[in-house]
Amino acid sequence: MEVYLDNAASTKVDKRVLAKFNNIAETLYGNPSSEHMAGILAREEIEKAKNIIGKKINCKSEEVFFTNGATMSNNVLIQGMLRNQPETVFITSVVEHNDIIRLYDWLPYAKQLINVNKNGIIDISELSRHISKCSRLNIPCLVSIQMANSETGIIQPIKLISKIVHEYNKGYLHVDATQFIPYYPIDVQDFRIDAMSMSGQKINGLKGTGLLYIRNSIQNKITPIIFGEQGLIGGTPSTPLIASLGEAFNIIEYNSSTLENKRDSLLYFIRDIGGKVIGKIGKNRLPNNIFCRFPGIKGLDLVNLLNDVNIYIGTGSACSTDSDEPSHVALAYGLSSEEALECVRFTICEETTEQEIEYTKRMLKSIISLLK
């Protein structure tokens, strides 16, 4: 039996998404920038994908831009806005995805990291103080937050964060919705989001597909970081990839309660055999996520031993697995470096079966007993 429990890193491509990609790749081969019929048909297919996504997140088609993933989307938005308005203060949190943390470290602009509480929720009072300071100085601020953490699955109170950010007329909110969007609907108007990133590979789409939503009213505040004839994002758009992302959005179904039941069966078992779950268990956690540690057992050792019995889990962000350093997210929860290196992540999906969960329990219990 093979059990894939690393869906926060990447999901299996849906057959309908793959069929869409293959069909468009075979039939619409024109450059969408061309003025002849082959180009027009390709352009129309891209517009169809924009309309599907626009309806799904409640935005206009001209507010949808396509990228190769959330990392590119994040960089286009954040670097583009800060280059356009260098006086802007960049505000983010200590538990963001590795690409944001590395970007934060590199940026030569005014910036601020916000701490989190013991449950991984952003310190709202600290955020409010920094927004107020920007307001007093009359300088813009860009706040960038993951809607749901890629390691712990903890969901941030985005509506409250948005309210605080937009109390200041020069405050802008960017969210990375990559982990959130597979499980819950997003209305960018209701959340009052100015910009949003996501990756197709987390919604049963193809790798190399991504989305950047930018509200019309702030598009003139962004300088391109990749120049070309396409304006904000240079390069020839890939019609097959874009069409496949539209299809991935089209078939999203939200069944969080079903996922929670499967997840909780494994979660409570992990606790019963001595595992320590990181972060609060409840409605502010993604329904498929278990981020935990087994005291005295290195996370990488557990990953490798489970791999030997065809069970695939992660140690945290898939973008930082080449590092021997402890997860900065785990450290932000107050864990020691040794404890942080014990952390592993189980993330199930709709296709995870009861038999797979039971097999995982048996193998996990056996391996934990062996390692203790």
- Name the strands in the sheet holding 195-199, side by side, starting at the edge strand that comes first in the sequence: 64-67, 210-214, 195-199, 171-176, 141-146, 89-93, 111-114
Strand 89-93 versus strand 141-146 pairing type: parallel
CB 197 within 8 A of CB 52: no
Copy the structure tokens of residue 169: 């007329």
Strand 343-347 versus strand 289-293 pairing type: antiparallel
Active-site residues: which are they?
319
Q: What b-and-e string marks burial along 65-100, b requiring 16 or more CB atoms within 10 Å of the CB? A: bbbbbbbbbbbbbbbbbbeebeebbbbbbbbbbbbb
Copy the structure tokens of residue 172: 């802008």
Strand partners, 312: 4
User: CA-CA distance, 196 to 65, in Å (whole number)?
Assistant: 10
User: CA-CA distance, 245 to 357, in Å (whole number)?
Assistant: 30
CA atoms within 13 A on the CB side of 112: 17
Using DSSP's 3-state secondary structure scheme, residue 302 falls into helix
